[in-house]
Amino acid sequence: MNPTDLIGMIVGFFLTLITFSYIFKDNVLFRLVMHIFIGLAAGYVAIMAWYNVLWPQLVVPLVSGTLQGYIWMVVPLVLGILLMTRVIPRIADWGKPTLAFLVGIGAATVVGGAVLGTILPQIRGLINLFDQQFLEQSVGNYWNQMVNSAVILVGTITTLTFFQFRGKSQLGQPVKRAAWIESISWLGKVFIAITLGVLFAGVYSAGMAAFVERMHSLVEVVLAFLQP
């Protein structure tokens, strides 16, 4: 083991122990570790932004690029400088065009991706679950797959119905949905509860894996010092 790894191991050991001390109570050492972590992360992000983004994608093309590239680089440079004016309240409005450009493009990208990459393919996938060819090619039994597809369909519809909040309102009384929607949404609630349970199990499982890894590293450090 080289000295750098050893130092890293020891520092990690103590930082892990201090973090675990939160189990007893919030304390100064725990907060110190949090501050160290946040500071390191922020510093690392700043360095990464300079060396991996600004330097190769803005500075290098401006200094040693072609005229065409130089012209193209002036646009993001100006927009970037305008965006930085947001930190000065007096001229903060100058950054609005850049911000609007970013928000607009970002929203268009995300919405387009969600519609074309998730909503439409998932609807098609749901329809194809009942495709005869798909059912016959499925790994399990035909009828097992059919039941599975039916459960997915019912789950999708009832869950979507649960989030339908239209209803009749009367003064001083809560809005009431129609009885048939209420009954369908109750089934949707069951599906949502199962989904949340599965998600909780997943989060717990991930946390347990991380906990085991940390404990394993602690044991390794102790054993490394105990063994001759």
Confirm or reject binding of residue 208 to another protein (CB under 8 A): yes
Return the residue of 89, 172, 174, 228 that touches another protein, per CB under 8 A: 172
Contact present, 99 and 83 (Cβ < 8 Å)? yes
**Cα–Cα distances in angstroms (integers) from residue 71 to residues 63, 64, 94, 99, in the given order:** 12, 12, 21, 21
Residues 125-144, one symbol each (x = binds another protein by CB under 8 A, - = not), give: xx-xx-x--x----x-----
CB-nearer residue toward another protein: 39 or 106: 106
Confirm or reject binding of residue 99 to another protein (CB under 8 A): no
**For 172, left (φ over 0), alpha (ψ -120 to 50), or beta?**
left
Touching another protein, residues 27-56 (CB under 8 A)? 41, 44-45, 48-49, 51-53, 55-56
Residue where the block lists tokens 């930085």: 84
**For 138, left (φ over 0), alpha (ψ -120 to 50), or beta?**
beta
Query: Which amino acid is it at 173?
Result: Q
Return the residue of 17, 39, 57, 182 that touches another protein, per CB under 8 A: 57
**Cα–Cα distances in angstroms (integers) from residue 223 to residues 6, 11, 64, 74, 193, in the given order:** 13, 16, 54, 57, 44
How many residues lie near another protein (CB under 8 A)?
56
Q: How is residue 167 written in tokens?
A: 């209803």
Helix (H) or strand (E) holding 170: strand 168-170
Adjacent-strand bridge partners of 173: 170
Exposure string (b/e) for 210-220, b if CB count within 10 Å is 16 or more? eeeebeeebee
Return the residue of 10, 210, 224, 225 that touches another protein, per CB under 8 A: 210
Q: For another protein, which stretch binds (CB under 8 A), given 73-81, 88-96, 182-190, 195-203?
A: 195-203
Query: What is the smallest separation between the CB atom of 165 and another protein, expressed in angstroms?
Result: 18
Q: For another protein, which stretch binds (CB under 8 A), given 74-82, 83-91, 180-188, 197-205?
A: 197-205
Residues that bind another protein (CB under 8 A): 23-25, 41, 44-45, 48-49, 51-53, 55-57, 60-61, 105-106, 109-110, 113-114, 116-118, 121-122, 124-126, 128-129, 131, 134, 139, 171-172, 195, 198-199, 201-206, 208-216, 219
